[in-house]
């Protein structure tokens, strides 16, 4: 059984690396051809950035695989033999959080390299080292505090219920929903500074869009995201009356009012179609599958590793294999998500009036340019990784002639 588990993880890593290799080869070939959407320099730069990201992903996947083998071979046994606590609750929390802390520390070099080498080289990083350390420490502390509470909850469920995996799924699914509700408040408190949108005319236009789709919000806010990153983004967070519309200051700076409204119209399309709840349901299906599988592993697996089937070992197993199930589920999730994106684009263009499709198309092109997104990808990579359709396909669905998009709209 142990060899089967290792073989499954190995296959996952090999497929993941293979898709990255195919993507690198494809982009290296395409980036030297006639540019699409972008001018020659930006097209080449976007291609180089995508290739650099994939190379980092390959190294990260290989290192993760080595750590997986180490955890399965000696790491879990080392935790079980070196941490001694009489209190069972504290023992389980200490075991699981030790695994989380060690894994987080091992991932820090990659996070640092991506932020201060890769993103710095391509002009994305706006954060200082001090701010990055502060953000990392806050995230680390929050993970320790809330992670410990979650581990405690699962421990109690495993200890008191025969069908513990089913009730653990219900508990974790509830935590996921709670996180979605509280995320905007936590982000505003610990990371971004959110201020009410000061442009009264834009605020009224946004609220008019929301009224037309039945979206109830606690307000429209601007995030000072430019202090960390140059990318453009916006998000709707929360549930019920606690929902917020948050615009990155970079988005407001780079898009015209009509383009910004087209982007928000797209996001409101997701709301109108219930895509948020569909996505949560998909996550729920993934979590259910994960708990169902690892809640019924044979005792022989633990014996092969010289371990006892304690609650903390089961929880660590779940975390070790979550990426595998996520990768397996991604093609299904991606196909559903890409379908939803087309529908949201259609609604966004309709909400924008007669010129809505053009404004949304211009906004998409600007997002590609400012975020240095290479507009082409290998079909296999799209299958496994894309939650959004390729931008060229989205533009075609909006009725745009790719060769004749007005590039003057890209001037900033």
Q: pLDDT of 369-401, one tens digit each?
A: 877 789 999 999 999 999 889 989 999 888 887
Residue with tokens 């929050």: 142
Task: Calculate the average pLDDT of the chain.
Answer: 85
pLDDT of residue 234: 75
Alpha carbon distance 84, 68 (integer Å) = 24
- The Cα–Cα gap between 218 and 216 comes to 7
- Least Cα distance to 107 among 49, 71, 64, 158 occurs for 64
Residue ranges of alpha helices (H) inside 114-244 are: 119-121, 129-160, 164-190, 200-213
Nearest in space to 293 (alpha carbons), one of 327, 334, 322, 333: 322
Measure the CA–CA gap between 306 and 94, rounded to whole angstroms. Answer: 20
pLDDT for res 6: 86
Give the C-alpha separation, 374 to 405, whole Å.
17
Sketch the domain layout of the chain as residue ranges: 2-195+260-410
pLDDT at 412: 37
What is the per-residue pLDDT across 338-353, written as a single tens digit (0 to 9) for each? 999 999 999 888 887 7
Q: Give me the pLDDT at residue 371, please.
A: 78
What is the pLDDT at residue 253?
82
Which residue ranges of the chain lie beneath pLDDT 50? 406, 408-412
Cα 365 from chain centroid (whole Å): 22
Predicted TM-score of the model (pTM): 0.83
Q: How many helices (H) and strands (E) does the chain have?
A: 16, 4
């Amino acid at each position: 059984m142990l060899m089967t588990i290792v073989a499954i993880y190995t296959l996952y890593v090999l497929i993941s690396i293979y898709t990255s290799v195919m993507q690198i080869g494809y982009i290296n070939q395409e980036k030297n051809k006639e540019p699409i959407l972008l001018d020659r320099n930006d097209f080449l730069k976007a291609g180089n950035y995508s290739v650099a990201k994939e190379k980092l992903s390959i190294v990260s996947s290989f290192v993760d695989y080595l750590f997986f083998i180490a955890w399965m071979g000696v790491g879990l046994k080392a935790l079980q033999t070196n941490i001694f606590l009489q209190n069972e609750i504290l023992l389980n929390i200490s075991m699981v959080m030790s695994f989380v802390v060690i894994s987080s520390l091992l991932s820090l070099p990659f996070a640092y390299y991506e932020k201060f080498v890769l993103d710095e080289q391509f002009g994305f990083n706006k954060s200082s080292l001090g701010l990055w350390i502060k953000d990392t420490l806050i995230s680390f502390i929050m993970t320790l505090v809330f992670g410990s509470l979650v581990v405690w909850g699962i421990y109690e469920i495993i200890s008191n219920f025969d069908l513990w995996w089913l009730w653990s799924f219900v508990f974790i699914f509830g935590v996921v929903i709670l996180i979605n509700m509280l995320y905007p408040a936590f982000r505003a408190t610990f990371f971004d500074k959110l201020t009410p949108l000061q442009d009264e005319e834009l605020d009224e236009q946004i609220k008019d869009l929301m009224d037309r789709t039945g979206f109830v919000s606690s307000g429209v806010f601007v995030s000072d995201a430019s202090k960390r990153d140059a990318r453009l983004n916006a998000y709707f967070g929360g549930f019920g009356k606690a929902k917020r519309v948050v615009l990155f200051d970079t988005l407001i700076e780079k898009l015209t009012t009509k383009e910004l409204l087209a982007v928000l119209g797209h996001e409101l399309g997701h709301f109108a179609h219930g895509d948020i709840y569909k996505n949560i349901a998909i996550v729920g299906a993934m979590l259910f599958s994960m708990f169902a599988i690892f809640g019924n592993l044979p005792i022989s697996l633990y014996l092969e590793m010289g371990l006892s089937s304690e609650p903390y070992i089961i929880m660590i197993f779940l975390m070790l294999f979550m990426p595998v199930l996520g990768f397996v589920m991604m093609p299904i999730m991606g196909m559903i998500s890409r379908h939803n994106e087309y529908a949201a684009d259609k609604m966004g263009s309709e909400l924008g009036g007669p010129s809505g499709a053009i404004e949304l198309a211009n906004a998409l092109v600007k997002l590609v340019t400012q975020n240095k997104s290479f507009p082409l990808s290998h079909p296999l990579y799209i299958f496994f990784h894309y939650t959004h359709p390729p931008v060229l396909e989205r533009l075609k669905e909006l009725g745009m002639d790719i060769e004749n998009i007005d590039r003057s709209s890209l001037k900033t």
